[in-house]
Amino acid sequence: MPASASSDADRPFSEESGLVTALDRSLAVIELAIDGTVITANQNFLDIVGYTLREIQGQHHRLLCPGDYAESSEYADFWDRLRAGHFEAGEFLRVAKGGREVWLQATYNPILDEDGVTTKVVKFAQDITEAKRQNADFLGKVDAIERAQAVIEFDLEGTILNANRNFLDVVGYALPDIQGKHHRMFVDAELAASQEYAEFWERLGAGQFEAGEYRRLGKGGREVWLQATYNPILDAKGAPMKVVKFATDVTASKLANAEIRARVNAVDRAQAVIEFDLDGLVLDANENFLRTIGYSLREIVGQHHSTFCDAEYTRSTEYRDFWLRLGKGEVIAGRFHRKGKYDRDVYIQATYNPVLDLSGKPVKVIKYAYDVTAEVEREHRIDSGTQEMTSSVRDLATSIVEIASESRTATELAAETHGNAEQGVEALRASIEAISLIQKSSTSISDIVKVIGEIASQTNLLAFNASIEAARAGEHGVGFSIVAGEVRKLAERSFEAAQQIGRLIDESADRVNQGSEVSKRAEAAFERIVTSVSRTNEAIRTISASTRVQQEASEHVNSLIDQLSSATANAAPVIR
- 391 vs 203, more confident: 203
Residues 221 and 301 placed together within one structural domain of the fold: no
Instruction: Tell me, yes or no, whether 458 and 382 share the same domain.
Output: yes
Entry field: residues in the chain: 576
Highest mean predicted confidence (pLDDT) among 257-266, 310-319, 441-450 = 310-319
Predicted local confidence at residue 503, as pLDDT = 79
102 near 127, Cβ under 8 Å? Answer: yes
pLDDT at 205: 95
Q: Which of 162, 163, 158, 210 is nearest to 187 (CA)?
A: 158
- Asked if residue 263 belongs to a domain, the reply is no
Beta-strand pair 332-339/574-575: parallel
CATH at residue 507: 1.10.287.950
What average pLDDT score do residues 528-553 get? Answer: 76
Last residue within a domain, chosen from 255, 289, 314: 255
Is there a single domain that holds both residue 240 and residue 279?
A: no
Question: Long-range CB contacts (< 8 A, 24+ apart) of 318-322?
Answer: 318/576
301 and 421 share one domain: no
144 in a structural domain: no
Shared-domain flag, residues 354 and 205: no
Asked whether residue 262 is assigned to any structural domain, the reply reads no
State whether 164 and 204 are in the same domain. yes
Q: Which of 371, 406, 437 is the last residue of a domain?
A: 371
pLDDT at 330 over 50: yes
79 and 111 belong to one structural domain: yes
| pLDDT at position 70 | 95
> Does the pLDDT of residue 439 top 60, yes or no?
yes
- For the chain, the average pLDDT equals 85
Asked whether residue 386 carries a pLDDT value surpassing 80, the answer given is no
Of 302, 271, 268, 267, the closest CA to residue 284 belongs to: 302
Cβ-count burial of 228 within 10 angstroms (0-12 exposed, 13-18 middle, 19+ buried)? buried
Domain containing residue 469 = 377-569
Indicate the pTM of the whole model.
0.47
Look at residue 3 and tell me whether its pLDDT is greater than 80.
no
Q: Is residue 400 part of a domain?
A: yes
Assess if residue 265 is contained within a domain. Answer: no
Min mean pLDDT across 34-43, 341-350, 503-512 is at 503-512
**Distance separating alpha carbons of residues 476 and 487, to the nearest angstrom:** 18
The reported pLDDT for the residue numbered 10 is: 52
- Regarding whether 99 and 30 lie in a shared domain, the answer is yes
212-270 confidence digits (pLDDT tens)? 999 999 999 999 999 999 999 999 899 999 999 999 999 998 888 888 888 888 888 88
Enclosing H/E stretch for 315: none
Per-residue pLDDT of 419-437, as tens digits, reads: 777 777 677 677 777 777 7
Confidence of residue 4 (pLDDT cuts 50, 70, 90): very low
pLDDT of residue 480: 65
For the chain, what is the domain count?
4
Residue 7 has pLDDT above 60, yes or no: no
Say if residue 155 is in the same domain as residue 95.
Answer: no
User: CB neighbours of 347 closer than 8 A, spacing ≥ 6?
Assistant: 335, 336, 337, 338, 371, 372, 373, 375, 376, 377, 574
Q: Who has greater pLDDT, 465 or 242?
A: 242
Percent of the chain topping pLDDT 70: 87
Between the alpha carbon of residue 265 and those of residues 94, 225, 293, 369, 372, the distances in Å are 64, 22, 20, 14, 21
**The predicted structure's pLDDT at residue 1:** 47
Higher pLDDT pick, 305 / 12: 305
Q: What is the mean predicted confidence (pLDDT) over 524-552? A: 76
Residue 5 lies in a domain: no
- Residue 467: what residue type? S
pLDDT > 90 in the chain, percent: 54
Are 485 and 479 in contact by the 8 Å Cβ rule? The answer is no
264 vs 156, residue with greater confidence: 156
Structure confidence by residue, pLDDT tens digits, 280-301: 999 999 999 999 999 999 999 9
What average pLDDT does this structure show over 297-318?
95
Using CA atoms, how far residue 342 sits from 186, 338, 371, 446, in Å, is 59, 12, 17, 112
The pLDDT value given to residue 153: 97
Alpha-carbon separation of residue 498 from 443, 490, 509, 511 (angstroms): 14, 12, 16, 19
Q: Which residues of 78-93 are buried (b: 16+ CB within 10 A; e: fewer)?
A: bbeebeeeeebeeebe
Distance of alpha carbon 336 from alpha carbon 436, whole angstroms? 95
Strand 272-276 to 345-356 pairing? unpaired
Choose between 512 and 278: higher pLDDT: 278
Q: Where does the pLDDT of residue 536 fall: very low under 50, low under 70, confident under 90, or very high at 90 and above?
A: confident
Write the single-letter amino acid at 445: I
pLDDT of 65 reads 96
If one compares 399 and 183, the residue with the highest pLDDT of the two is 183
Strand order in the sheet with 88-95: 38-41, 28-33, 118-127, 101-112, 88-95
pLDDT at 152 over 80: yes
For the cut 60, the answer to whether the pLDDT of residue 9 exceeds it is no
Please check whether residue 407 is in contact with residue 543, taking contact to mean a CB–CB distance below 8 angstroms.
Answer: yes
Domain-located, residue 208: yes
* 3-state secondary structure at position 386: helix
Q: What is the pLDDT of residues 541-569, one digit of tens each?
A: 787 777 777 777 777 777 777 776 666 65
What is the per-residue pLDDT for 2?
Answer: 43
Confidence category of residue 502, pLDDT binned at 50, 70, 90: confident
Considering the domain architecture, whether residues 198 and 292 belong to the same structural domain is answered as no
Q: Please name the residues in contact with 294: beta carbons below 8 A apart, sequence gap of 6 or more.
A: 340, 341, 342, 344
The least confident of 71-80, 86-95, 270-279, 490-499 is 490-499
382 and 439 inside one domain: yes
Say whether both 106 and 242 belong to one domain. Answer: no
Q: Is residue 209 part of a domain?
A: yes
Domain boundary among 325, 356, 371: 371
CATH number, domain with residue 246: 3.30.450.20
Q: What was the pLDDT predicted at 6? A: 45
